[in-house]
Amino acid sequence: MPDSSTRGLRLAELAKRVDARLDGDGDVVVVRVATLEHAGPESISFLANPRYRAKLAETRAAAVVVAPEDASATALPKLIDANPYATFARVATILHPIERPAPGIHATAQIDASAHIARSAAVGAGAVIGARATIGERVVVGANGVVGADATIADDAIVHAGAILYPRTVIGARSTVHSGAVIGADGFGMAEDAGRWVRVPQIGRVVIGADVEVGANTTIDRGAIDDTIIENDVKLDNQIQIGHNCFIGAHTAIAGCVGIAGATHIGRNCRIGGAAMITGHLEIADGTIISGGTTVYDSIRQPAMYTSVFPTLVHGEWKRVAMQLRRLRALVERVRALERKAKAADDGHGSV
């Protein structure tokens, strides 16, 4: 069914709004987005991966988004752009806009008298807004969301139901915090003394920039002394743990279940695959790509793609490879011994 928020748009209008080249009938009206396989006569789809070109010939979509090199592969009306996936994303945003609740504060919300909430903001049922918190224009705080004392949420940000912002947390403009996220909890700061642990007070903040996405159940610890900082346009998937005093540079994307220990500095435009583990106090260069499941123990100074996970094998073969790897050190020593013996023999031969 079409979204209630739209009755569809002419393809020519979409082309203008997403700055793509139109090829074909611009009067075709599209209502929704869909995959090539499941598209119907009111849908617009896309081809970004050449492996799916065969589906382009079979699709029932009204129009498609393609790269220039794929334009000749279909007679359908089309939007042409060098980055068809990004163009499709913009089209989807237009056809399926986020529905925001009407401005206002629900009667069951608990608002401290010293909090400042813009008239255009929407605060849901059971939400809690702490002392001196600032809620900007058109901000949404979902049901049972918690915004701690002295926290700041900038214009057009969305904090979904059940998300928790600890005191003094800063959320930038147009950022989104999904349900279950906890931002600003204590970092894991402990000092050992005579076999016992002494808690180190965590007095920093979490400062999140503009256009950041924080996934469901992701946790970001506040700094021990200085702040934990997430720069603009960082995209964080679900169930990520970010330790205290981390710095994540602008435009970096991190997939689900990644763990980042404290005081790690991740550069700009990095990509980190799911379930990667990064130990603390490291530096990762701008533009680095880390494969899913990779464990990073040392700083990465040169941008490249880094992988530490052994490729998938049939279990029996994996066991045989693992056994050989365990013997690798002994094999290296044997080779070195043979090299020394060969060198000694060569030296002895040369002296005759």
3-state secondary structure of 254: strand
Task: List the one residue out of 117, 124, 279 whose CA is nearest residue 188.
Answer: 279
Residue 105 β-bridge partners: 123
- DSSP, residue by residue, 126-188: T-EE-TT-EE-TT-EE-TT-EE-TT-EE-TT-EE-TT-EE-TT-EE-TT-EE-TT-EEEEPP-
Q: Is 244 a catalytic residue?
A: yes
Chain position carrying tokens 């790897």:
325
CA 291 to chain CA mean position, Å: 14
- Between CA 170 and CA 229 the distance in angstroms is 10
Please report how the helices 315-326 and 328-351 are oriented relative to each other, as an axis angle in degrees rounded to 10: 50
Here the tokens at position 345 are: 């023999």
Catalytic option among 244, 251, 265, 281: 244
Here the tokens at position 325 are: 């790897």
User: Can you say whether the dihedral through the CA atoms of 219, 220, 222, 223 is positive or negative?
Assistant: positive
User: Can you say whether the dihedral through the CA atoms of 148, 149, 151, 154 is positive or negative?
Assistant: positive
Amino acid identity for residue 83 in this structure: N
How long a stretch of residues is the chain? Answer: 352
Catalytic amino acids? 244
